[in-house]
Amino acid sequence: MRKTALFLAVLIFASPGCAWYRAKIGGRPDPEKVSKIVAGQTTRQEVDALLGAPDAVARLGSGDVYLYRYDEGKAFLLFLLLVNWGNLDLKPDRLLVAFDSNGLVTNVAYRSDSPKAEFRLKP
């Protein structure tokens, strides 16, 4: 208890402040809409209507591949008397949709790591 009180006292007097930041880069693909994309059934037009334009397109001889990206970052900064300390945690959501030459979805892959981004004090 004594140690904690001492630590808190030092923190209060020595720390002019702290800051939290949150950054969102891109538009997050809606998981509900993503679940409607089915390989062998969904068409390119349907994907366009569901999610809009992708962030990147690779044009292959056998068909196009869409890549959707979203990043979420959380930063915590501590300003002490002489030392400033900060951590930024940036986590991605990614969606890949591949089409055949007829515009039918052949592959779908989705991962959502952005909820795992956290305000952290430790590096």
Partner 1 sequence: MRKILPFLLVLLCFAQGCTILNFHMGSPPSRECALAIESRKSTLQEVLDVLGPPDAFCEEMAGEFGASGVDFELDFPELPGARPHVLETPDSLCLLWVGTRSRSSEIDFGRGVQVATIALGARGYVPLIFGAAGERASFVRVRLGPDGVVDAVHVSGVPEEFGYNPNPFR
**Minimum CB distance to partner 1 smaller for 4 or for 102:** 102
What does the chain come to in residues? 123
* Per CB under 8 A, 107 contacts partner 1: yes
42 binds partner 1 (CB under 8 A): no
Residue 15 makes contact with partner 1 by CB under 8 A = no
Using DSSP's 3-state secondary structure scheme, residue 49 falls into helix
Its sign, for the CA torsion 6, 8, 12, 18, is positive
Choose, by CB under 8 A, the member of 50, 67, 103, 104 that binds partner 1. 67
Among residue numbers 80 through 99, which ones bind partner 1 (CB under 8 A)? 80-92, 94-96, 98
Terminus-to-terminus CA distance in the chain, angstroms? 26
Q: What is the DSSP letter of 104?
A: B
Q: Which residue has the tokens 């400033």?
A: 84
Q: Which residues contact partner 1 (rule: CB under 8 A)? A: 25-27, 52-62, 65, 67, 69-71, 79-92, 94-96, 98, 107, 109-111, 113, 116, 123
